[in-house]
Amino acid sequence: MPIQSPFPIRLKEARLNKGLTQVQLGVRIGMDENSASARMNQYEKGKHAPDYDTMKRMADELGVPVAYFYCESSVDAELVKVISHLSDDEKVAMLERLLNAKPESNAQFIL
């Protein structure tokens, strides 16, 4: 049995968090108003997947990185969102702290 992509769940979640309908999101990323609802519905049902350009436009409109759509857990998805808003210097500093942390101190990062 094929593994279900997390994309449909994450897309719907991000869209609802922004308070947008399927039509509104579709139109905002350049879809025709007459087909936006049907296309977005297909994406959210997992029947079709958008190409990268469309996915990037959706991510930008929803304020999330493209990687967010593929996170398997909610915790990973939230981490990706938070990290995407950091500056490059902050990301490097965080990465260095995580890589240099002792295994027993990593427990503080577990939710």
Tell me if 97 is assigned to some domain: yes
- Reported as a pLDDT band with limits 50, 70 and 90, residue 111 is very low
Domain residue limits at 62 = 7-109
Tell me if 50 is assigned to some domain: yes
Tell me if 2 is assigned to some domain: no
Q: How many domains does the chain have?
A: 1
40: nearest Cα among 1, 57, 48: 48
- Residue environment code for 40-71, b if the CB has 16+ CB neighbours within 10 A, otherwise e: beebbeeeeebeeebbebbbebbebbeebbeb
Q: Which two tokens stand for residue 31?
A: 């879809």
CATH of the domain at 71: 1.10.260.40
Tell me if 14 is assigned to some domain: yes
**Per-residue pLDDT reduced to its tens digit, 25-56:** 999 999 999 999 999 999 999 999 999 999 99
Q: Is the pLDDT of residue 8 over 50?
A: yes
